[in-house]
Chains A and B, each alone.
Chain A
Amino acid sequence: DGGITQSPKYLFRKEGQNVTLSCEQNLNHDAMYWYRQDPGQGLRLIYYSQIVNDFQKGDIAEGYSVSREKKESFPLTVTSAQKNPTAFYLCASSPPGTYALTQYFGPGTRLTVL
């Protein structure tokens, strides 16, 4: 049963802490993405990766970091430099393609700063 998994579902962070959100896919997709969703706003791209060991900053990368050591995994670290991290975080992946890339999303992680 192929899909995208994210963990944990809920995450609480104290001021000054770094936290890591997990994203795993078994769809054999090359591209993976991280988005942030805030109430009343569209999804905003944080980072994306087209292939293993390569990733690019999106529109709001400041305060975040990623790695792509395996095709299946694309973890996101929210660092203490991110001043307003409370949000719903969504991971997505896309199958190979040369034109339009349909993205498939995981269930999300809700991060709350205490």
Chain B
Amino acid sequence: NAGVTQTPKFQVLKTGQSMTLQCAQDMNHNSMYWYRQDPGMGLRLIYYSASEGTTDKGEVPNGYNVSRLNKREFSLRLESAAPSQTSVYFCASSPLLSRRTDTQYFGPGTRLTVL
């Protein structure tokens, strides 16, 4: 039982390049989330998927797209990377359909640098 896994662990991009961050969970959770964590800013929600087949914007969605590929996998795509997207990205999942009582389980993070 690996929990939440993320790939890659580290990535360096040039401005304008695209890439996809992968996330998978093996806990049969319904909801999945993408956050970014920046110094002095805390964790900020980018996108979430309350259940398979649905996605919604969070606090900071601009410049990102997501795909809930199936119940296990939720990917985050940067179409044209910008230096402002340099951050640590965390994927999380939670077991309940309703986010009202969520306890979220986090992956180890992807450290992205955009030059």
A binds B: no
Q: Give the B-binding residues of A (Cβ under 8 A).
A: none
| Interface, chain B (partner A; CB < 8 A) | none
